Structure 1
């Protein structure tokens, strides 16, 4: 597992949505439309945790926060590597899922 400095650096690079943009996104039907299962998806829960992390100072982050940040970094790296659909990336489940995790691949 990466150390905190490496996690912080990757997090800053990959989580490219502002708290305001992420909060607005999480309130949309599109955000709630991706993810498997009943109830709130893992990605949607992750987005809410990302908002709580972004509301803290680095010095105030808990081990749970650091663990979640590393999970977010890994998720974003794996899913951006897939490249998404060849057409209409803007309205794809691939993009919507990444946005739940704080990353807009079109930015």
Structure 2
């Protein structure tokens, strides 16, 4: 596992990047997976990474595992790449912007939140 200073910095960066609350993320993962006549079990909603992000949001920093730290690095890098990879502002309603927003929200980052 990363040393204490590195973990503390990662924790802060992760919570800066993940700007959705655990309640917002849980609701998004449930809605994202719901079908017209069915709804998945709460522990089975969303991607594995999305569920892991949700679990991390519900932990204290001192309870992190090596796997949590790996996912936190992955989320910080992925969100950074997706946000930095835009070629200027896109219309909010474009299919590309919607797909990117939904992918980011699955990781706990809503680009439309201040």
Q: TM-score scaled by structure 2?
A: 0.74
Aligned length: 96
Where does structure 1 lack aligned partners over 5 or more consecutive residues?
A: 33-42
Q: Tell me whether 84-93 or 53-62 shows the greater mean CA deviation.
A: 84-93
- Alpha-carbon RMSD across the aligned residues, in angstroms, is 2.6
| Residue 102 (1) aligns with residue 99 (2) | no
User: What's the counterpart of residue 66 of structure 1?
Assistant: 69
Query: Relative to 1, partners in 2 of residues 1:81 and 1:53: Cα closer, same or farther, differing over 3 Å?
Result: same
- Structure 1 residue 21 corresponds to structure 2 residue 24: yes
Does structure 2 retain, via aligned residues, the 8 Å contact 1:89–1:95? no
**How is 1:81-96 mapped onto 2 (pairs within 5 angstroms)?**
81-83=84-86, 86-87=90-91, 88=93, 92-96=98-102
Aligned to 1:55: 58
Q: Structure 2: state its 5+ residue gaps.
A: 34-45
Q: CA 1:12–1:89 in structure 2 vs 1: closer, same or farther (change >3 Å)? A: farther
Q: Considering only CA atoms, is the larger Rg found in Structure 1 or Structure 2?
A: 2
Runs of 4 or more consecutive aligned structure 1 residues displaced over 6 Å after TM superposition: none
